[in-house]
Structure 1
Amino acid sequence: MLDYLDGAGVQDLVGMKKNSVLEKAATYDLSLARQNFDETGQTCAVFGHQFYSAQSWTTKCRVIHKAEVVSLPGREPRDNA
């Protein structure tokens, strides 16, 4: 699908499934979100990006991620990356 969109000259934004490579790339931003949460006690999100290519892709694509620590009343904070 991405090859077709690129070939047609379409600039696209698509959602991607998590994987270990992308999660590792978001580790630093998750640590920033955790630090901010520890200082404020409030939910914090940090956005970042990297260039990524699965083995079957012909080119690298820019992938945007969100790393966040979510705080809900009565629950332990949750890390999401």
Structure 2
Amino acid sequence: MMFVIEFFRVRGTDEAHATLDRVEHDAADLEDAKVRAQSLFETLDMPQKPDALRILDHSGDEVFFWSPQYGGS
């Protein structure tokens, strides 16, 4: 399955999201995509440190959200 992992910053005043990077990942299932996304959260070279990430399925629907501060879904 193809997933898109988005890494973003969250503005504290209104919770607006600013996307820092998007990575496509071909994974066996959502659990595999979650492991890869959380690994990339710490290692991917981005212009700023992200606050959170989300995973989108092939339809563009959010299937997972994770942040060290807020936890996951």
TM-score, normalization by structure 1? 0.32
TM-score between both structures, scaled by the size of structure 2: 0.34
Larger strand fraction of residues: 2
Question: As a proportion of its length, which structure holds more helix?
Answer: 1
Please say which structure displays the higher CA radius of gyration: 1
